[in-house]
Amino acid sequence: MATDHGQLTTDKGHSFSMKVAITGAAGLFGHGLVSAFAARHDVVPLTRAEADITNQDAVRGVLEKIRPDVVVHPAGSPDLDFCEANPAAGYAMNVHGTRFIVEAARELGAAVAYISTDAVFDGQKQTPYVESDPPHPTTVYGRTKWRAEQAVANLPHHWIFRVSVLFGPGKTNFVEKVLRKVAAREEPVVAADQMGSATYTLDAGQKIMEVVEGRRYGLYHLSNSGPCSRLELARHAAELAGLDASRVIGKPAEEMGRRARRLKYAVMEMRALKEAGFELPRSWQDALAHYVRSLALSAPTLMGA
């Protein structure tokens, strides 16, 4: 339970707040995670300037100084095409970087909350993926994230959160790029045949904090509720912004000339969250409406009318 001071109280009435180091703090999800955890905990945001995660000494040095209770770790490359073209760099950031964090956390007795992805699956299923489905990544990016998950899973106290199609404040993202193009009377082309789960960074940050505070360790699928295609997400955002949604053009993903193969079906069911008794995040439509309203305040030129 939260007190007036934003701290938590245990069932015995004692308050506690954790020391939480958050990697990738300048990134898209890093922003959402820092803003969620900072409301109740002692947060140390880590950017590349504080520690290059591919440098083991730098990672150990910075975490030894902070001595966190928990390291929340979204840092790495989320770029499928970059990883496909540069597998060594993708492995260095996503796999080795994560291993260095895991090793430092083990030495310090800290828990790790790792941010993973639906790209650990192969997209062949016709029904939503659950946490017990075996991963079978089909891209370099997916393989790096799966290897990183395995490293994290060796720690006694860990969480793995698989998220998908992030949008939120702090850094340009898929939704904002589409809105900028439509507002400029361009015709953005997006995949019409990529079905997945969209994730608002502020909602996911809040849910991760709840799970971490509850010490419910394990593997979780986490997104906003309800499946959507990239095209639905983009057009709905344009409508919410009062723009002409028909300017968003849908195409099959494989005609878009991308290096890494995209998954046609990557919808995730949040079974573990449900089974642990957590309320599921709101629908992607409600989350998107919240985000587009906030964009209207910060970047009114993106809006129609």
Ligand X SMILES: NC(=O)c1ccc[n+]([C@@H]2O[C@H](COP(=O)([O-])OP(=O)(O)OC[C@H]3O[C@@H](n4cnc5c(N)ncnc54)[C@H](OP(=O)(O)O)[C@@H]3O)[C@@H](O)[C@H]2O)c1
- Note whether 288 and 232 are within 8 A (CB): no
Q: Nearest 5°: phi and psi at 271?
A: -65, -40
C-beta of 7 vs 150, nearer to ligand X: 150
C-beta of 89 vs 303, nearer to ligand X: 89
Residue 6 CB, nearest distance to ligand X (Å)?
25
SS3 44: strand
The pair of structure tokens assigned to 129 is: 């993926």
The pair of structure tokens assigned to 76 is: 């790495």
C-beta of 24 vs 123, nearer to ligand X: 24
C-beta of 145 vs 158, nearer to ligand X: 145
C-beta of 182 vs 199, nearer to ligand X: 199
Residue 230 CB, nearest distance to ligand X (Å)?
11
Binding residues for ligand X (CB under 6 A): 24, 26-30, 48, 52-54, 74-76, 78, 93, 97, 115, 117, 145, 163-166, 171
C-beta of 54 vs 224, nearer to ligand X: 54
CA distance 45 to 24: 8
Please, what sign has the CA dihedral across residues 282, 79, 248, 30?
positive
> Which of 26, 268, 280, 289 is closest to 164 using CA atoms?
268
> What residues have CB less than 8 Å from 193, skipping those under 6 apart?
229, 252, 253, 264
Q: At what angle do helices 174-183 and 230-240 cross, to 10 degrees?
A: 50
- Note whether 70 and 111 are within 8 A (CB): yes
Residue 129 CB, nearest distance to ligand X (Å)?
13
> What residues have CB less than 8 Å from 169, skipping those under 6 apart?
31, 32, 201, 202, 291, 294, 298
Residue type, 203: D
SS3 58: helix
CA atoms within 13 A on the CB side of 296: 16
Residue 192 CB, nearest distance to ligand X (Å)?
18
According to DSSP, the residues that pair with 9 across neighbouring strands are 15
Residue 74 CB, nearest distance to ligand X (Å)?
4
> Which of 174, 173, 176, 285 is closest to 225 using CA atoms?
285
C-beta of 53 vs 237, nearer to ligand X: 53
- Note whether 218 and 272 are within 8 A (CB): yes
C-beta of 97 vs 183, nearer to ligand X: 97
Residue at shortest CB range from ligand X? 27
Residue 24 CB, nearest distance to ligand X (Å)?
3
